[in-house]
Amino acid sequence: MNNKRNSVLTGVSGEYFVAAELSRLGYIASITLRNTKGVDILCSNSEATKTVSIQVKTASNIKSTWILGDKSEKDYSPNLFYVFVSLHDNLPPEYYIVPSKIVADFTTKSHRDWLSSLSKTGKKHKDSNMRKFIDLEKKYLNKWSILGLEK
């Protein structure tokens, strides 16, 4: 029970960190209601002439790795972005801003590669609905301009 509570609190804190950072950058950010599927934050430029939807995924780790569901392979749109948040003890969060199509392509390919490889014991992997997104090169770190909300 305590682990589930911590993961829920981790996720909620990530959403608030992202909304705060977007506000700090001069954008209008609104966290959606809990029952809004696939969108955690609606964000627009200060003139409200361009709006994007944001899905936030938060992890408490130093690695740039996040767990997603298989719907990440199918749910993409030009106006849908992921902001992956990495929370660290006593350090500011890290934000990775990634277009949903990039996430869909990455999770599809990496899952297909994983399925075609063998496990540590030499057996074939069993399919699952879990996917991973990884940005070890930190290519998307703090790339807020990817949202396309500038004037």
CATH number for 56? 3.40.1350
Say what the pLDDT of residue 2 is: 45
Say what the pLDDT of residue 119 is: 87
Say what the pLDDT of residue 72 is: 93
**pTM of the complete model:** 0.89
Asked, for residue 30, whether it belongs to a domain, the answer is yes
Lowest mean pLDDT among 43-47, 57-61, 126-130: 57-61
Asked, for residue 28, whether it belongs to a domain, the answer is yes
Amino acid 73 reads: E
Say what the pLDDT of residue 38 is: 83
Say what the pLDDT of residue 34 is: 76
CA 30 to chain centre: 17
Residues 61-78, mean pLDDT to the nearest whole number = 87
**Long-range contacts (CB closer than 8 Å, 24 or more residues apart) made by 12-15:** 13/58, 13/87, 14/56, 14/57, 14/58, 14/85, 14/87, 14/93, 15/40, 15/41, 15/56, 15/58
Asked, for residue 151, whether it belongs to a domain, the answer is no
30 lies in which domain range?
2-146
Asked, for residue 106, whether it belongs to a domain, the answer is yes
Asked, for residue 71, whether it belongs to a domain, the answer is yes
Say what the pLDDT of residue 3 is: 46
Band of pLDDT at residue 150, cut at 50, 70 and 90: confident
Asked, for residue 112, whether it belongs to a domain, the answer is yes
Band of pLDDT at residue 32, cut at 50, 70 and 90: very high
Asked, for residue 75, whether it belongs to a domain, the answer is yes
The tokens for 56 are 């936030």
Residues 122-136, mean pLDDT to the nearest whole number = 91
Domain count, the chain: 1
Whether 33 has a pLDDT exceeding 90, the answer reads no
Say what the pLDDT of residue 151 is: 64
Asked, for residue 90, whether it belongs to a domain, the answer is yes
